A and B are shown apart, each in its own frame.
Chain A
Amino acid sequence: MGLKQIDWVAAALALVLLAACGTADEDLADPLKPPSVYRNPQVYVTRAPTQTVDLTAVAQVNASATPEPAAFQVFTEPLVDDEQFLMDRIQSMLDEAERELNQIDINP
Chain B
Amino acid sequence: MKISSFVKKALTVAAILIVVATFFFQPATVAYADDPYLDSNVPSAGMTNKDIEYMNKHILAWMKTQGQVFVDMHDTEIDFQALIDLQIQKKGDAQALEVALDQFMTDFHIAWDIHNEAAKIIGTQWGFDAQGHVTNREAALKTVTDGRYYLRDARFRMLESLRMLKRDYAAWRYKHIHR
A residues apposed to B, CB below 8 Å: 82-83, 86-87, 89-91, 93-98, 100-102, 104-108
Contact = CB atoms under 8 A, between A and B. Distances in A.
15 contacts: A83-B83, A83-B90, A86-B86, A90-B79, A93-B72, A93-B75, A97-B69, A98-B159, A98-B163, A100-B69, A101-B69, A101-B159, A104-B65, A106-B151, A108-B55
B9 to A, nearest CB: 54
A95 B58 CA distance: 24
B62 A94 contact: no
Nearest to B87: A83
B86 A82 contact: yes
Nearest to A94: B166
B47 to A, nearest CB: 12
Interface in B75-115: 75-76, 79-80, 82-83, 86-87, 90
B66 A86 contact: no
A104 B76 contact: no
Given A87-B173, A90-B169, A104-B65, A97 B79 contact: no
Contacts, number: 71
B51 to A, nearest CB: 9
Interface of B: 37, 54-55, 58-59, 62, 65-66, 68-69, 72-73, 75-76, 79-80, 82-83, 86-87, 90, 148, 151-152, 155, 158-159, 162-163, 165-166, 169, 173, 176
A106 B152 contact: yes
B32 to A, nearest CB: 16
A93 B79 contact: yes
B166 A98 contact: yes
B76 A93 contact: yes
Contacts of B68: 100
A83 B179 CA distance: 15
A93 B79 CA distance: 10
A104 B66 contact: yes
B39 to A, nearest CB: 10
Given A83-B83, A89-B79, A93-B79, A106 B155 contact: yes
Given A94-B165, A101-B159, A108 B37 contact: no
B58 A105 contact: yes
B55 A101 contact: no
A108 B54 contact: yes
Contacts of A97: 69, 72-73, 76, 158, 162
A105 to B, nearest CB: 7
A90 B86 CA distance: 14
